[in-house]
Amino acid sequence: MSDRWDHLRRYTPARIALGRAGSAVPTGPLLAFQWAHARARDAVHLPWDVARFARRVQDRDLTPLILSTRVADRVQYLKRPDLGRQLDAESAQSLPGWAGSPIDVALIFTNGLSSTAVEVHGLPLLDALVRALGAAGLRLGPICLAENGRVALADPVGAALGARLSVIVVGERPGLSAADSLGLYLTYAPGTGRTDAERNCISNVRPPEGLAYDAAAAKLVYLAREALRLTASGVALKDDQPGHRLTRGPQGGTTQTIENGNPPD
């Protein structure tokens, strides 16, 4: 028996038109809810194999740099967000030694609140970012990898490397619709005292359901160029990229459509 709400499911991952069995939801939707909840919990608590990720970065002829925050373990990470924003003493002392050559973008990866996200999407996104930033003539430093980091960790890392911009790729807080979403946060002139109002976020990178890797990379390049032109980021930098709109890709992911014959930056 069809439900008149069924056709609306194609437009949203939200739980609508679940039906009912007496005063409860049917067994199928209940099990699906429990499975999604388990995936979200796993995404938070699973460890990130940073050493393996670093080897895969090195296989791409890039330079990985493993850093550590002041977080002792995953439980402390969840209870003390402030410690995830700070480098430990050893990492803080080692970073300035990498600041010899000019760096436009300090690129940092961390598992954040979803190890699943960085394991599934981290390397393909890295490939897209390296291609796009290189094509734009923006110079990268070492690829910094920090387990149990928060968004503001990009400030001490970018400052120590002397980078004009910092970009941190972080596993976003998982929900019951998405447990594997990555976010990118861009900050102009990273350093002590920067606030979240001075960052730009590109969220929900998780093809095929979310934003595609190349679309995220193209958007980051646009924001990076504008941040350098305006010498500002965050609320002072509007996402008004001309000639582009986001549409559904062939596999359901979000991609960029070119309008007026203008290619992506």
Query: In this structure, what CATH number is given to the domain that contains residue 253?
Result: 3.40.50.11240
Digit-coded pLDDT (tens) for 53-74: 999 999 999 999 999 999 999 9
Instruction: Give the per-residue pLDDT at 108.
Output: 98
In a domain, 96, yes or no: yes
In a domain, 252, yes or no: yes
Instruction: Give the per-residue pLDDT at 8.
Output: 79
Asked if the model's pLDDT at residue 262 lies above 50, the reply is no
Query: From CA 238, how far away is CA 257, in angstroms rounded?
Result: 19
Tokens of 8: 């609306």
For residues 14-29, give the mean pLDDT. Answer: 82
Asked if the model's pLDDT at residue 6 lies above 60, the reply is yes
Digit-coded pLDDT (tens) for 33-51: 888 888 888 788 889 999 9
- Residue 77 region, left (φ>0) first, then alpha (ψ -120 to 50), else beta? alpha
For residues 91-118, give the mean pLDDT. Answer: 92
Write out the residue range of the structural domain in which residue 189 sits.
44-258
Digit-coded pLDDT (tens) for 159-187: 999 999 999 999 999 988 888 999 999 99
Asked if the model's pLDDT at residue 100 lies above 90, the reply is no
Burial label for 123, CB within 10 Å (0-12, 13-18, 19+), is: middle
In a domain, 31, yes or no: no
In a domain, 35, yes or no: no
pLDDT band at 134 (very low <50, low <70, confident <90, very high): very high
Instruction: Give the per-residue pLDDT at 97.
Output: 82
Tokens of 236: 């002072």
In a domain, 33, yes or no: no
In a domain, 230, yes or no: yes
Report the 3 state secondary structure along the chain: CCCCCHHHHHHCCCCCCCCCECCECCHHHHHHHHHHHHHHHHHHHCCCCHHHHHHHHHHCCCCEEEEEECCCCHHHHHHCHHHHHCECHHHHHHHHHHCCCCCCEEEEEECCCCHHHHHHHHHHHHHHHHHHHHHCCCCECCEEEEECCCHHHHHHHHHHHCCCEEEEEEECCCCCCCCCCEEEEEEECCCCCCCHHHEEEEEEECCCCCECHHHHHHHHHHHHHHHHHHCCCHHHCCCCCCCEEEEECCCCCEEEEECCCCCCC
Instruction: Give the per-residue pLDDT at 261.
Output: 31
Q: Give the chain's length.
A: 265
Instruction: Give the per-residue pLDDT at 257.
Output: 38
Asked if the model's pLDDT at residue 135 lies above 60, the reply is yes
- Cβ atoms within 10 Å, residue 154: 30
Share of the chain above pLDDT 70, in %: 90
Digit-coded pLDDT (tens) for 226-257: 999 999 999 999 988 876 655 554 444 554 43
In a domain, 130, yes or no: yes
**Number of domains forming the structure of the chain:** 1
In a domain, 30, yes or no: no
pLDDT band at 31 (very low <50, low <70, confident <90, very high): confident
Instruction: Give the per-residue pLDDT at 24.
Output: 86
Do the Cβ atoms of 234 and 241 come closer than 8 Å? no
pLDDT band at 3 (very low <50, low <70, confident <90, very high): low
Digit-coded pLDDT (tens) for 182-210: 999 999 999 999 999 999 999 999 999 89
Mean model confidence pLDDT for the chain: 88
Tokens of 117: 């996200």
Instruction: Give the per-residue pLDDT at 21.
Output: 85
pLDDT band at 113 (very low <50, low <70, confident <90, very high): very high
